Structure 1
């Protein structure tokens, strides 16, 4: 999605940046993991296919993707951005007739970052972005039944279970963003800073040289 191609979002412990070609090699290494393939219902791709996928995620109008960075590492300009990567987060506009309906997907790929609240912060930041910039009014999350940690996290964020598909072995959770919820999300995440990604990268390069 073009809308976030130059957007950086800075939270308390994470930074969200556009998914660029420089991120693909590490992302490709992540997706060799059978565990991550199962958790994300993904098929393994070649490196060239991964680059094609990155380009489609950048260009397609129904996908909004950010790479998640460890803010503490990223704060050191001598550390390459790719070394700060810990996962990704996506919004998919799944219904062409309803652009206010979005599926939300979060992947904490680095095992050492799981179970420490990073997924929750990222999810809340992406909901903030979806409400503020994309006009999302309904969020859905489709999660494998075996992924109890993610299911619990979304329920703690006030998502409600709406269906279970035994064929695909997944549960669909949903949150309706009425005016009260919209204002609450915007208020709770008011500390999120939006920056110009290219300018920030340029500043980091100057500081590291």
Structure 2
């Protein structure tokens, strides 16, 4: 989406920045991993296809993507490629209803897992989805066996609504009600939207 192309979102541990062509080569290296391809339900792409995918994510009005940066590394190195640890996305899933979206989070770097970066990145993305994109129903599709992601979403009050043995995934969802927003607002540690200036 172009709506997020000129902003970044700053949290305590992570910074979310728009997915730019500058990030593609490292992202492409991540997606050579069989584990990540399986967990994200993705197909391997050539580098040229990855660049085309990045452009489509930038242009398409039904996708919103941020690259997740480790804030500590970014502040130390001033280099976004060094600080890249994953990505987070929102997809509008119903062409007739722009208030329904599917959320995704991926921490690609093994060494960065288990430190709360994925959780904070997801919280920032969900906050953006609700406040800027006016999403009213949030969904997530989690692969069987991806216990950390299942725990992450269920702890945010997402509930199972569907299970597919064919795709080996569970669909979770939550309605953005006043009650849920009150709970959710206590989960987000810090959320600052700034104008994006790429650091490399």
| Normalised TM-score (structure 2) | 0.95
Matches of 1:191 and 1:71, distance apart in 2: 13
The CA deviation string for residues 90-111 of structure 1, in whole angstroms up to 9 with x for no partner, is 0000101111100000000000
Conserved 8 A contact 2:11-2:189: no
Matches of 2:7 and 2:189, distance apart in 1: 16
Conserved 8 A contact 1:127-1:185: no
Greater share of helix residues, 1 or 2? Answer: 1
The CA deviation string for residues 8-50 of structure 1, in whole angstroms up to 9 with x for no partner, is 0000100000000000000000000011000011111010000
Partner of 2:96: 97
Q: Would you say how many aligned residue pairs link Structure 1 and Structure 2?
A: 200
User: Any stretches of 5+ residues in structure 2 without a counterpart?
Assistant: none
Provide the secondary structure at the position in 2 that maps to 1:134: coil
Conserved 8 A contact 2:70-2:117: no
1:3 corresponds to 2:3: yes
Greater share of strand residues, 1 or 2? Answer: 2
Matches of 1:193 and 1:164, distance apart in 2: 36
Residue 79 of structure 1: CA displacement?
3.6
The RMSD of aligned alpha carbons is 1.4
Pair 1:101–1:27, CA change in 2 (3 A): same
Structure with greater Cα Rg = 1
Matches of 1:16 and 1:185, distance apart in 2: 19
Matches of 1:85 and 1:190, distance apart in 2: 21
1:56 corresponds to 2:56: yes
Partner of 2:184: 185
| Normalised TM-score (structure 1) | 0.91
Residue 165 of structure 1: CA displacement?
0.7
Partner of 1:20: 20
